[in-house]
Chains A and B, each alone.
Chain A
Amino acid sequence: MKKKWIFAILIIVVLAVVLAIVFVNLFTPKNTTKLAQQVISITTTGYLSPDNKDNQKIDEFMTKVQTNPNLNETEREQIKNYISAYKAFEVMGGFFGRQLVYSKHTSVYSNNVNNIKKSLDDANSKAKAVASYIKGREEVIGQDVDVTTNEYVAQTWRSCVVNVKSLFDNTVSAFSRLTAVYNSCVTSPLMNNDMSKAAFKVANYFASEVKKELEAKDKPVVSTGTQYQSFKNVYFSKANEYQISNYQYSPMAWQVSEDILKAKDLTEYKTDSSSSQQWGWFVRGEIYTFPAGAAAANYDLEVAA
């Protein structure tokens, strides 16, 4: 009899615990703070912070090796691309970190958060591995090796390029998912229009182009990394990010994106295409003359999955 009572109480306790968990989940406000914390941490102290030691070591090494005569032309151009793209990642990471603090929790967030976290963690580990490898090669002790020769430095690069590539792949993957997360929580009729999406499309397009160029063995490398960096500075830097959120009513941002989208080979990309006259004309209310969304619709830009 006593055992039965204990059993009954046990069931009630278990049910109470289950119910408590259900209620806590129901009433706990869902937000994006966990991911925001990670992105902010990675851009302020992690591999995407210019103050981070691994970041500094990689940057210092790539700056040195980009002119190495023992590497072929394609390899040198690829390194230039990596340098620019890495700087673009820093800008983009800062943007996402700031935005996530204020973002709403959506199903897109739930579906992507673990993959984003994993990609950023993996990229951070790869940055550590690359920096540690470079450091190890530079400080080799007990062997009769001249660590300053072009041949030795070129060999260091060729040995660590796989990890550098993995660092980039993971970052690109995280950012394309972060773009989806950001877009899913934007509800304003102005912010969530085709043109603002185009800015992200172009950013992801650059990222995927950089990736393709870095993977290609024989394809001539163009300065996509530099363009990627410029584009992100125009749209996503702290001082300029208002252009994304104010996109619809910024003819300057609209024009830049239009130029990029029209220039299929990306060589005609210009950043300076605005004038105060355009602004004045716009402010007077001629806002509907912009074919919002038309440009994005005409070009089927590839968005990283």
Chain B
Amino acid sequence: MKKKSILLAFVLCLTSLFGLFGLTACGEVSVGTVKASLDSLVQTYTRYAEFITLSGTSESDNWNLEVHLGSNIVSRASGREKYTSLTETYPNILKISNNYVMQNKEYIEELKDGNLSSGAKDRLKTLNSNINAYTSEIKSFISNMNSFDGYLKGLQEQETANPEPEEGVKKQREEEEQLYLRRFKKSYGSLVSKNISMATSVANFVEATGVFNLIKDNVSATDQTFKLIKGYIRIKLLPAFSRYKIDRIENVFDFKSEESAHGDAYSRVNKQLKRLDELFETYEEKLVPNTIGNVGGNESEKKNNLNYLFDYADNFFKHQNNYLKAVNGINFHDLSQSGDAGYDSAKYQAKNRYFLTYMDTIDTFLGVDGVVNAPQIGGEKGELAEFMHQVCALLGI
């Protein structure tokens, strides 16, 4: 009996183990599956072209994605700073991110499953899941946009009917508008984040196909290869701009940059976000256009520069991971609630022992004024600015 019980126990254990390992082998994704998902994405754009329009051709290798905000949102946004991210930041990031996906669509679809490494196959799985997540998000975004537009229509009618209401009614209207705006920002932010996740997984998959190693080892440095690496760098940099501002702040709570009666961490966060905006301007100006300048040098020097650029970018993206880890490691909502006035470093540090280390990492990466004093090689403040500066120098921009 005793032996039987032991045997039974072992059989049970082995069965559960086999089941578990069997499950991990499930869910293989092929290039064909990804192609179908990308086609479904394009069909979704076509179906909802009234709200979100994709234009461009593979010949021009340049795609545009335009979000048509409702007419009431557009008129309400005019001249109002709190709406700026809806009319500028979000659509701009979305265009950059989506363009990269469309530019690589054809390349991905032409690949053969048999030629892919196991690493590339794993990334294909993530890519497929991110494409589907983004495609689903489009539908809920449009629904939320319509709902917000409808709310603003009602609000504008109320304002026309009663342009000078009592203080209490006015305050209630403002608070309500803020609430609806935040909900919509959250939805738009989620759409942008999911597009970035999709584009980043495209970049990761392209890298895993080994095309960059092929270029490094065997292909001479041409304008086209420099543009290819520029596109890769452009898309891998995007999370540096979106993760903090969109995912961790705007998608989570109201950060009112004009308020000052807060704890010591408030001004630090505010400085970081302002610096991030400055850096994004440089990024848009220098790295977004799909052009390069005069790289200079003979063929061998160009090749050296190209290979260096690959290694340099690889090195930098490891730094960027630390920055992203730091940004993810802070619960900004909890920070905003810590202490009596909010943003109390000491109180929040007691909950999150890495908080100050994370903040230091963010300051150093972004090059926040008064924190990073050390001269960088190109004279730029912070790691991100320095990286963009050197990439531009190597691309002759």
Contact = CB atoms under 8 A, between A and B. Distances in A.
B211 interface: no
A98 B315 contact: no
Contacts of A276: 379
Contact of A242 (B12, B383, B389): B383
B304 A249 contact: no
Contacts, number: 107
B377 A97 contact: no
A144 B155 CA distance: 87
Contacts of A11: 5-6, 9
B360 A98 contact: yes
A5 to B, nearest CB: 8
Give the interface SS of chain B, mostly helix, strand, loop or mixed.
helix
B321 to A, nearest CB: 8
A31 to B, nearest CB: 11
A225 to B, nearest CB: 23
Contacts of A238: 360, 364
Nearest to B301: A285
A189 B315 contact: yes
Nearest to A279: B377
A173 interface: no
Given A15-B9, A239-B374, A285-B297, A279 B353 contact: no
Contacts of A101: 325, 354, 357-358, 361
Contact of A190 (B6, B297, B315): B315
A90 to B, nearest CB: 15
Contact of A8 (B2, B314, B322, B390): B2
Interface residues of A, number: 40
A28 interface: no
A285 B377 CA distance: 13
Interface in B309-325: 311-312, 314-315, 318-319, 321-322, 325
A188 interface: yes
B4 to A, nearest CB: 8
Nearest to A242: B383
B350 interface: no
Contacts of A8: 1-2, 4-6, 8-9
A267 to B, nearest CB: 26
A285 B311 contact: no
Contacts of B8: 8, 12
Contacts of B374: 239-240, 242
B230 to A, nearest CB: 15
Interface string B228-244: 00000000000000000
Contacts of A285: 296-297, 301, 304-305, 308, 393-394
B373 interface: yes
A246 interface: yes
Nearest to A44: B356
B1 A4 contact: yes
A188 B9 contact: no
Contacts of B5: 4, 7-8, 11-12
Contact of A279 (B2, B10, B378): B378
Interface of A: 4, 7-8, 11-12, 15, 19, 36-37, 40, 44, 97-98, 101-102, 187-191, 238-242, 245-246, 248-252, 276, 279, 282-285, 287-288
Interface of B: 1-2, 4-6, 8-10, 12-13, 296-297, 301, 304-305, 308, 311-312, 314-315, 318-319, 321-322, 325, 353-354, 356-358, 360-361, 364, 372-374, 376-379, 383, 386, 389-390, 393-394
